[in-house]
Structure 1
Amino acid sequence: MKNLLYHEARLNKTRRELWGCDDNWNLAELLPIPDLLDDTMHKCRIAYDKVVNNIKWEPYSRREIRKIRRVYHDEIDYRYKYDNRDTLNALYAQRGDADEILIIKKGLVTDSNFCNVAFLDGDRWLTPASPLLPGTQRALLLDQGIVETADIRESDIGSFNRIRLFNAMVDWTHAATLDVSLIA
């Protein structure tokens, strides 16, 4: 399983902050890989509060991203990986002919629908300092010094060369990377 320690840290932080839990779950023990899974990539979804409510393993396939549409929501809150994605789904429905969205909150770039983002300024990859969800792959990339945080205003987008969309299922080397001119 990829980035297991980062997932575990986020899960335990969420449990502490939302439900006051002071124990730490060990995901390697909690999530044995079912024998029925084949060798294709799968995503594991855990629904939990103070206890595990549900564990689902789902096949995962990468989507091709060729165009991104900016969408706006100044009140969106997705700091925890909530099951309820109604607001994100409503924003995604505004994508028109684009394959993905870039969410702008109070003038600042945050994330896409399912990915954190980073922008290339020529030398460095910068990821928004205030993402909607600080992803586990983002945390790993920050720890490795591959990306740096910065406040990225919507008005800054044109000053960058490229945008990259990544998450736990789409690692840095396989992430969609587009010219910023493809952000409508």
Structure 2
Amino acid sequence: MCRFIETIQVRDGELRNLTHHNRRMNETRKAVFGVSEQLDIRRYAEGCPVHGIHKCRVVYDREICEVAFSPYIMRPVHSLRLAYSDTVDYHYKSTDRKELEALYSLRGNQDDVLIVRDHLLTDTSIANVALEKEGVWYTPATPLLKGTKRAWLLEQGLLAECNIPADDIYSYSRIALFNAMIDFGFLFLDINRDTVIHI
């Protein structure tokens, strides 16, 4: 049976953005298993670390199966290579990452891949993205995964959704990578032919 995960940032004992994590988990449970009962991760998060930044990994199917905490160490990303797949599907945050791992293996000398599906930019192997043009940040309208941080940023009006053709990438000035663990504004890359490899 397939299982799914939520990865939640814990900062000084606080489970960050929990409303969006609970919402996505319960929407996934309903869509995949037909379960309408609402679960709250907070009720299962005993032993939450109270100092520093940690990762809370929640594994679930119909019910929550496992909750584990670990110190968070960010994987550095200084460059990206575009990787192409029109069949990759990760719209539910599953424990099965085989397709993403296969695309990640195509990164060559770069730190990660920026995945292109149907000629449009989506996500990296670990993060949603936004691209800056003339002071406005645009995030792909059809990401591989609708991340919880992405949902929050859209609600706050900090991002605008649009389709971003891969061939247009160099018309943007910067790219931001973000996810539940990487706050928006923490990881920026200038977009040029050394940092983003388009082949």
Q: Confirm or deny a common fold (TM above 0.5).
A: yes
What is the CA distance between 1:63 and its match in structure 2?
2.0
The answer on 1:133 being equivalent to 2:145 is yes
Distance in 1 (CA, whole Å) between partners of 2:135 and 2:75 is: 27
Q: Which residue of 1 aligns with 2:16?
A: 2
Q: Which residue of 2 aligns with 1:180?
A: 191
3-state SS of 1:7 partner: helix
Q: Which has more helix, going by share of residues?
A: 1
The answer on 1:12 being equivalent to 2:26 is yes
* TM-score (normalizing by structure 1): 0.94
* TM-score (normalizing by structure 2): 0.87
- Measured on the aligned residues, the alpha-carbon RMSD in Å equals 1.2
What is the CA distance between 1:92 and its match in structure 2?
0.7
Match of 1:62 among 59, 74, 92: 74
Q: Which residue of 2 aligns with 1:143?
A: 155
Distance in 2 (CA, whole Å) between partners of 1:106 and 1:138 is: 21
- What 5-or-longer segments of structure 2 have no aligned partner? 1-14
Q: C-alpha offsets along residues 161-181 of structure 1, whole Å, 9 cap, x if unaligned?
A: 10000001011132x111111
The answer on 1:110 being equivalent to 2:122 is yes
Distance in 1 (CA, whole Å) between partners of 2:172 and 2:135 is: 10
What is the CA distance between 1:143 and its match in structure 2?
0.3
What is the CA distance between 1:23 and its match in structure 2?
1.0
What is the CA distance between 1:53 and its match in structure 2?
2.0
What is the CA distance between 1:29 and its match in structure 2?
1.4
Q: Which residue of 2 aligns with 1:52?
A: 64
The answer on 1:99 being equivalent to 2:101 is no
Match of 1:121 among 122, 133, 136: 133
Please tell me whether the aligned partners of residues 56 and 70 of structure 2 are also in contact (alpha carbons under 8 angstroms): yes
Q: Which has more strand, going by share of residues?
A: 2
The answer on 1:29 being equivalent to 2:40 is no
Distance in 1 (CA, whole Å) between partners of 2:102 and 2:91 is: 17
Q: C-alpha offsets along residues 52-96 of structure 1, whole Å, 9 cap, x if unaligned?
A: 222222221112211111111110110010001111111111111
Amino acid at match of 1:20: G
Identity across matched positions, percent:
38
When residues 27 and 38 of structure 1 are mapped into structure 2, their CA distance, relative to the original with a 3 A threshold, is closer
Distance in 1 (CA, whole Å) between partners of 2:191 and 2:185 is: 18
Please tell me whether the aligned partners of residues 114 and 121 of structure 2 are also in contact (alpha carbons under 8 angstroms): yes
3-state SS of 1:94 partner: coil
The answer on 1:156 being equivalent to 2:164 is no
